[in-house]
Amino acid sequence: MLTAGSWSLPVVTVLPLELPPLPLNAPPLPRRFGRYVLFEFIGRGGMAEIYLARATTDLGASRLCVVKQIIAEYASDPQFAEMLVYEAKVAAKLSHPNIVQVFDLGRGALESGGNDGLFIAMEYVEGFDLAALWRQCARADVPLPREFALRIVCEVLRGLEYAHRRLGPAGTPLGIVHRDVTPSNVLISFEGEVKLCDFGIARANILVGDVERKDDDALKGKAGYMSPEHARGEVIDARADIFAATILLWELVHGKRLYQRGGDRPSLLDQARAGEIPALVPQEFPDVERLQAIIAKGLMFDREERYASASLMLRDLERYTRQNDLVASPLRLGGWMFENFGEALVEHRRERERISERPNFEPTFESEVIPPEPPAWPEEALAVQNAANLGRLKAIAAGQSNARVWQLIALVLMLVGVAMLLARRGHF
Ligand SMILES: Nc1ncnc2c1ncn2[C@@H]1O[C@H](COP(=O)(O)OP(=O)(O)O)[C@@H](O)[C@H]1O
Ligand SMILES: [Mg+2]
């Protein structure tokens, strides 16, 4: 199990790569999907298959991205599709360093059948999700330094705060709640960035099935991060995300899961409904009472007593971090992750990318992009552009009239010259 420990020199451990197997009936990779070339299978979530892809533009520029193909079974369900499209459009409007940027949402035929496959394309965060980082640390027996654990939670809170405060066009709050703040949705890059993914699509994910009955580990695991009110099926608000983020903090500082599975324990969902938090003292952390107080406030059963906003919790956690000299830069976090676990993964992905660049793929079908709302061009930008165009036209016109004046002067001079010549010869 992962235990939070103090900062130590990087231990370079060469571990075999943990790569998910390609789904059984999936065509081989690389393969083209609309304007994307999918070249690496990243994993299968509750409702989608996730691929690392290269997006190419008409002019040949390309960038790495992640394409999330919604499994045909769900994408062809109109109610599910409608909800996903609606929420993914909201998510696409979020633009923040702690949130994975969604930049494409579309429909395209799925190779596994059906012709109404939905997909979401988003920025690729090269690194690990928190669950994978946790596993890597456990496999290599490398503790995650305390300052990194704190940094990760602070960054998650920053992303949540931004999303919770988003306003709609009429200036009213959009009421965005992530609903699925779990370790697999916290991505940490080798640059040390921490980004939340799956914003807004968790509601659709929940439609996928009853978290208890569905025979899917990924879905069941989500119950372990639910606030009591969420697990009880009540209407939730931003404070459910704060509870979930605090579970992440609890688990990182204690080095173990809050709600455990197995034995004769109640199901994760029942444990989440009860919301009982074991009274443990974080071992490796200074000023523990302060840290415990922050955790206790984030995990209040009654949401009225919980932190009212992510920023309030962030303020307390940052102050604790600063005053106890536990601040870590992104550079250190990313560098530590890369040195310990990253090299083999990056090398493998580069190789797959190179292979995907070799063959000249023929598109198997066209994907249709669901148009986003028309870009709101600021009036001033248009005005500046119009003024520039007008200026250019005036300059051209001025140039043309100048040329005409010179032509006229030349003609007059020529006529004067001819007249003088004729006069000298005595014609006048
Ligand atoms: N934009 C991304 N960049 C890098 N990895 C990603 C990205 N999106 C998803 N992943 C990886 O794929 C995994 C599964 O994604 P997801 O569909 O969200 O599954 P789950 O429902 O289990 O969270 C994530 O946990 C993460 O490891
Ligand atoms: Mg996810």
CATH superfamily of 4-356: Transferase(Phosphotransferase) domain 1 (1.10.510.10)
Alpha-carbon span 428 to 188, nearest angstrom: 97
pTM passes above 0.85: no
Say how many C-beta atoms besides its own lie within 10 A of residue 171's C-beta: 6
What is the rounded CA–CA span in Å between residue 379 and residue 374? 14
Q: What are phi and psi of 68, to 5 degrees?
A: -105, 110
Encode pLDDT of 82-125 as tens digits.
Answer: 877 887 888 888 999 999 999 888 887 655 544 457 889 999 99
Closest-CA residue, ligand 1 atom 24, reads 184
Q: pLDDT class for 389, splitting at 50, 70, 90? A: very low
Question: Do residues 345 and 352 lie in contact, with contact meaning Cβ atoms separated by under 8 Å?
Answer: no
Average pLDDT over residues 286-310: 97
Q: Which residues contact 289 (CB under 8 A, 6 or more apart)?
A: none
For residue range 39-94, list pLDDT tens digits in order: 889 888 778 889 999 998 777 788 899 998 888 777 778 877 887 788 788 888 89
CA-122 nearest atom, ligand 1: 1
**Close Cβ partners of 170 (under 8 Å, ≥ 6 residues apart):** none
Calculate how far, in angstroms, residue 428's C-alpha sits from the geometric centre of ligand 1: 98
Tokens in use for 382? 């248009």
User: What is the rounded average pLDDT of the residues 249-275?
Assistant: 94
**Shortest-distance ligand to the CA of residue 18:** 1
- Which of the two residues, 344 and 217, has the higher pLDDT score? 344
pLDDT of amino acid 152: 98
Mean pLDDT lowest for which of 59-73, 104-118, 207-221, 349-363?
Answer: 207-221
Closest CA to 157 of 103, 102, 99, 201: 99
Positions marked catalytic:
180
* pLDDT for the residue numbered 203: 61
Going by C-alpha positions, the residue among 187, 214, 183, 219 that lies closest to residue 48 is 219
Say how many CA atoms lie within 13 Å of 272 toward its Cβ.
26
Count of CA atoms in the C-beta half-sphere (13 A) of 205: 24
Ligand nearest to the CA of 187: 1
Confidence (pLDDT) at 309: 98
From the CA of 319, how far away is ligand 1's center (Å)? Answer: 31
> Tokens standing for 313?
């919790």
